[in-house]
Amino acid sequence: MAGQFYHVIQRGTERKPIFRDDEDRERFLSLVAEGVERFRHEIHAYCLMGNHFHLVVRVGPTPLASVMQNLSTRYVQSFNRRYKRVGPLFQGRYKAIIVAADDYFLPLLAYVHQNPVKARKVSRAADYRWSSHRYYVSQPPPECLSTQYGLSFFSGSTESFDQYVEREMIKGDLKRGLLRGAKGENRVLGNVEEVANVLARAGQLSHLKFDVDGIVNAVLAEFELTARELKHTKRRTDVSDAKKVAAYLSRTLNGVTVTQYGRFLGIHVSTAANLARDWERRMREDEKCREMTSKIGKRLGIDSITI
């Protein structure tokens, strides 16, 4: 759900290490950064432990499931190549907890950053290299990390973020909320009313599942083209644009992939991905491209598509 905060946790299978050394951690963080650039979500905190990791994510136009699938798949492939191993690395699906209220946001950041202290790896959160804590207290953050929202809670306060994390003891009800409940993306931090509102909004969006035919038909209608023209016509600007926006929507919307769109057009997945990237670039630069994408989105039942 676009704009929603999640606390994401993923563990190694049989609780085995998912990071064997600093090179693994660097590779993981580089993939996190690539994902932010590609999918336009925000990472507000992270902590890499030996056999699991934590992320605080604010979802953008791409569903959390797609973001996490891309991250975990690419990291597992890299890990397996490096260590000449096969098979799964992670213990099933990640866990994701919806953060429904600002009241929980700062305690959640503290909880994530306190993990290495509680594991007795360091005595202070600021001493741990593989969390985002130092970017909140002493170092400029990398482009992939969003610290402004968390630090905004301390505007005008005499207490620093570091002091807050040092003295914050996670309340029992928050800790239980973080660690218990059903697997998947159905757990929520917040009071009863907040939880109901979040789940209601999620229910309103849950029916928006897409397929290649639906996306292509919406694009064809907007461009006034036929499927034959889309597949076989070359050197026409309108056809080229239609191919690109359909590729972008296939990569972005829930239920369909750019691979499926590539099969529909009879082109390689890398070619389809390049079409999607080109349209995304043009959307950033050209208001007309953004308007065109939004019009097609409305044909698909989407109120707005942002980048």
* pLDDT digits 0-9 by tens, 39-98: 989 999 999 999 999 999 999 888 888 899 999 999 999 999 999 999 999 988 888 888
Instruction: Tell whether the torsion through CA atoms of 114, 118, 121 and 123 is positive or negative.
Output: positive
Q: Which residue has the higher pLDDT, 167 or 144?
A: 144
Say if strands 95-99 and 187-189 run parallel, antiparallel, or are unpaired.
parallel
Where b means 16+ CB within 10 Å and e means fewer, 47-59 reads: bbbbebbbbbbbb
Question: Looking at residue 50, what is its pLDDT?
Answer: 95
Task: Using the 3D structure, point to which of 147, 171, 206 is the last residue of a domain.
Answer: 206
Where b means 16+ CB within 10 Å and e means fewer, 210-238 reads: bebebbbebbbebbebeeeebeeeeeeee
> Rounded to the nearest 10 degrees, what angle do helices 287-299 and 212-223 cross at?
120
- The pLDDT of residue 193 is above 80: no
Please calculate the CA angle 126-131-132 and round it to the nearest 5 degrees: 85
What range does the domain containing 266 cover?
212-299
pLDDT one-digit tens code per residue, 147-173: 999 999 888 677 889 988 887 754 444
Question: Looking at residue 307, what is its pLDDT?
Answer: 54
Residues 140 and 91 in one domain: yes
Mean pLDDT within 214-239:
92
Residues 226 and 273 in one domain: yes
CATH of the domain at 262: 1.10.1750.10
- Residues 268 and 275 sit within 8 Å (Cβ to Cβ): no
Phi, psi dihedral angles at 304 (to 5 degrees): -155, 150
